[in-house]
Amino acid sequence: MNKLIKNVFLLGLIVIPNLICNAQNISLKKVEPPFWWVGMENTDLQLLVYGKNISLTKPVINYPGVTIQSVSTLTSPNYLFIDLTIEKKAKSGTLNIQFENANGNVLKYNYKLKNKRIKNNKKQLIDPSDVIYLITPDRFANGNTKNDSTDDTLEKVNRKNIDGRHGGDLQGVINHLDYIQNLGITTLWLNPFLENNQPKYSYHGYGISDFYKTDSRFGTNKDFSDLVVLSHNKGMKVIMDQVFNHCGTGHWWMNDLPSKDWLNQWDKFTRSNFTNIVASDPHVSQSDYDLLTRGWFDSNLPDLNLDNTFLATYLIQNSIWWVEFANLDGIRMDTYPYPNKNVMAQWTQRLKLEYPNLFVVAETWVSKSSSLSYWNRNTPNADGYNPHLMSVSDYPIYYAMLEAFGNEGDVYKLYETLADDFIYGNPYNNKIFNGNHDVARLFTLLNEDISKLKLSMAFILTTRGIPQLYYGDEILFKGDKPDGILRKDFPGGWDTDTKNAFSKNGRTKLENDAYNYVNTILNWRKNAKEIHEGKLKHYQPLKNIYVYFRYTKTESTMIIINNNNFKVDEFSLERFNESLRGYSKGKDIITNTHFSSLKKVNLKENSALIIKLQR
């Protein structure tokens, strides 16, 4: 048994040493999920069992409350799929599975059943009171140089290669939790950290080669679990990035697929059309739909076929396994519209059954609100489809923000886009953002104008939705395609770095200016109930000045964005009296400027006022 397999078993399986039946050359290498829990709402569990000629055996289980409902084989003789029922009355313990062959030989396998965590969360775990901080782990900080290159993975560390592994890891994130917390962040989202055993370009994490194993260059499953515990201890939450659409060519099953239809396969390599609107288009052609849902992202990212019910079950169970194992607060699902959308809806329903308040956000890369609303509904769409999603990635707001704060931009675009909110089930749950790992850096897109970056930050952190920032944007990271440039290393994350941007003294004056601006809004935001729970009321922008209010019955904040390259003296607030009624004064939370009257204010060029209103 090789080192890789042993490491997998260390996740929690007790393995009987002799797992070979010599008579028929039968062996047992892997069982997934590697362990499970009693007390789950859904009492069904399907085990994927892998080993040479394992399909020639009959599994037998004698454990109170656990019964085998069915056993299935596919094309490869080296797989068994065992469907179990684990009754609510079943107790935790070690489940002995015997695999008997025709000659009476027996393989024995001990499988752990643990107690499910008891959660009494009464509200959505991640909501508009939170701010998400997205980190690309390989590029954030290197906390353990000993795992920069590992024996069980192909690609070795090479920090000089912008597309290579740079050595960042989970320990690096752990080491800088104080920085993240002090910035004012409440929630972490890491790009995928599971094993990506590809020969090159593996650092991004989206070419998974083992769905149950942390990439050894990032650390171990325990390291991730520790990160969640430490984050929770600091009052922060953690989102895991998951992928159902594809795996990596280095995945262990690629050399022995359970069945040909495990993947979406074509006569020749066929790339996806990457046109997400196809999934909701009522007039779509079958050929376009097939290209979206069956085409490959790239030649090194085999497209998984969720029409295969065994694979669909495998991935859904894997998602639940990570929630329970790591005590996750949320999941971000990559490329949500690409796989079989009915299976994706089944996945969200299974998650809600087990974890009703778990935050689930889908990557839904479409530019128009009308298309995005297909995935954010309170009721089924016209075609009968209901995604059962809690949150979507609000690209329409992202593009409107870039247009508004770009060259000669007009904030009317923000107003116009938000006016489409009537088509969503719950727009306040949309994940809003001004940067991520797939787009050019915010500072670069806004022409390296810090005043425009500040306007973007002020808007994203005060409008409706759940904000998400990308690491480094708070200190003016620059960069555009290729991806390796925009996903740059955080200065100070490596012992050999000459600059440490994690500290005030290691940042330039301009970087500190941006950091302090973002930090001020974030830390005010933590206690701003009108942002967490309040409604949004906005007024038609005139002369490129946008005014809106976030308010509850008892609290209100007025945001004024002057998107002009000139100041405006004595800007009248009379037009906003319906929102100012009952308030007589206020304080700008950014500068601590007090306003003893709410009749007129002076606006600096390209600036925002965030005025906490007072009675």
Catalytic annotation, residues: 334, 363
The token duo for 293 is 């849902």
Strands 210-214 and 194-195: antiparallel
Question: Which positions ≥6 away from 383 have C-beta within 8 Å?
Answer: 282
* Residue 467: closest CA among 412, 391, 542, 572: 391
Residue pair 135/190 in contact (Cβ under 8 Å)? The answer is yes
DSSP string for residues in 386-422 = ----SEEB-HHHHHHHHHHHSTT--THHHHHHHGGGG
| Phi, psi for residue 272 in degrees, rounded to 5 | -60, 155
Burial of 160 (0-12, 13-18, 19+ CB in 10 A): exposed
Place of tokens 């939370």: 589
Which residues are registered as beta bridge partners of 546?
Answer: 561
- Angle between helix axes 309-326 and 221-233 (nearest 10 degrees) is 50
Query: Half-sphere exposure of residue 370, counting CA atoms within 13 Å on the CB side?
Result: 6
Exposure string for 100-116, b = 16+ CB within 10 A, e = fewer? ebeeeeebebebbbeee
Q: How far apart, in whole angstroms, are the C-alpha atoms of residue 75 and residue 98? A: 22
Residue 309: partners with Cβ closer than 8 Å, 6 or more residues away: none
Rounded Cα–Cα distance for residues 290 and 299 (Å): 17
Task: Give the C-alpha separation, 84 to 95, whole Å.
Answer: 12
Task: Choose among 475, 469, 448, 462: nearest CA to 561.
Answer: 462
Count other Cβ atoms within 10 Å, centred on residue 274. Answer: 13
Which pairing describes strands 132-135 and 187-190: parallel, antiparallel, or unpaired?
parallel
Would you tell me how many other CB atoms lie within 10 Å of the CB of residue 551?
A: 21
